[in-house]
Amino acid sequence: MAKVDLTTKIGTLIFKNPVTVASGTFGSKDEYARYLNYERLGAIVTKTVTPKPRKGNQMPRIFETPSGMLNSIGLQNKGIDDFIENKIPYFKKIKTHLIVNIAGESIEDFVALAKKLDREKSVSALELNISCPNVKKGLEFCAKPELTYEVVKAVKDTTKLPFFTKLSPEAHDFLGVAEAAIKAGSDALSLINTIRGMAVDVEKCRPQLANVFGGLSGPAIRPIALRYLHEVKCEFDIPVMAMGGIMTAQDALEFLIAGAHLIAVGTANFVNPKATMEILGGIEGYMKRKGYASVNEVRGSLRIKEASEDRSVPAG
């Protein structure tokens, strides 16, 4: 059978396929290299990089829930200078797009990070993490559209690199924030970051996480992620990297059909380090079975109007 075309375009970037990884769930460099060939991914999205090294939050900072996990890692990383010196040379050799996720506590931080990465030829795009629920000012920039606009505009004025802005479902005016990011020049959006939750150890009568709250990820948040994707696609013409509980090809297809350009696999990597490859194979299999030649035909193929008709009970 003929090969299917998985090529996905966002602006000037051409991805060999739409499958990538969600920031912070795929190690910080080569941790997954013994399970899969990174070059088979459409892109690699890095763990968040900050201006200075961060130790992260106190342990325990991971807790498994019935349908996902709570994490309060707190953006542990060695900082941008270490990233440029020690990680970029590794990623440079891998023939796929490198998307560097960045976060700061101020607009100046974001600008400084963007400026440094702008000089790096092997970086294809940035992802602005303005939605981390586990650090002090993590949600500040996506709390209000005005603040989102300011930080996104400042990055836009700094770098020629295309970038995604990663949003939180916790923003009260979610669509307002999305609109602000788009108006300020974000080339694409990443939806969604984790949602704050909590768990209690009933024997010790204390929170399971040292930080009390942690971001919930995994299958539990998939319907929420899908809803936000759909809302954004109904309102705006903007490419989206979708994430939130994508564990299987079936899950990934839900997001593609709802209009996502890229599918980022997150929590699934902890359960099955080869999840991305299985998802990629599953998407190909689906396309062959359905007779799709290109993934562009799958993207946005959601048929809303027919939803009620399809479910009608046949008479008699």
Ligand X SMILES: Cc1cc2nc3c(=O)[nH]c(=O)nc-3n(C[C@H](O)[C@H](O)[C@H](O)COP(=O)(O)O)c2cc1C
Query: 125 forms bridges with which residues in the sheet?
Result: 99
The angle, 0 to 180 degrees and rounded to 10, between the axes of the packed helices 174-183 and 222-235 is 50
Which of these ranges, 16-24, 89-97, 276-284, 295-303, lies near ligand X under the rule CB under 6 A? 16-24
Relative to beta strand 163-167, strand 125-129 is: parallel
Place of tokens 């699934």: 268
By beta-carbon proximity to ligand X, the closer residue of 241 and 295 is: 241
Q: Please, are residues 115 and 158 in contact by the beta-carbon 8 Å criterion?
A: yes
Q: Please, are residues 151 and 193 in contact by the beta-carbon 8 Å criterion?
A: no
If one asks whether residue 168 binds ligand X (CB under 6 A), the answer comes out as: no
**Catalytic (active site) residue 142:** no
- Binding residues among 211-230 for ligand X as defined by CB under 6 A: 217-218, 221
Q: Please, are residues 146 and 182 in contact by the beta-carbon 8 Å criterion?
A: no
Q: Give the span between the Cα atoms of 286 and 32, in whole angstroms.
A: 26
Q: Work out which of 43, 75, 135, 252 binds ligand X, going by CB under 6 A.
A: 75
Which of these ranges, 23-31, 33-41, 115-123, 273-281, lies near ligand X under the rule CB under 6 A? 23-31
Residues 229-242 as b or e (16 or more Cβ within 10 Å = b): beebbeeeebbbbb
By beta-carbon proximity to ligand X, the closer residue of 15 and 63 is: 63
- Count residues contacting ligand X (CB under 6 A)? 25
Min dist. Cβ of residue 61 to ligand X (A): 8
> Cis omega (within 30 of 0) on the bond before 66?
no
Q: Which amino acid is at 157?
A: D
Options 132, 142, 205, 234, the catalytic residue: 132
By beta-carbon proximity to ligand X, the closer residue of 7 and 272 is: 272
If one asks whether residue 96 binds ligand X (CB under 6 A), the answer comes out as: no
By beta-carbon proximity to ligand X, the closer residue of 61 and 299 is: 61
If one asks whether residue 71 binds ligand X (CB under 6 A), the answer comes out as: yes
Query: 190 forms bridges with which residues in the sheet?
Result: 166, 241
The residues of the shown chain that bind ligand X, judged by CB under 6 A, are 22-25, 47-48, 69, 71, 73, 75, 101, 129, 132, 166, 193-194, 217-218, 221, 243-246, 266-267
Give me the active site residues, please.
Answer: 132
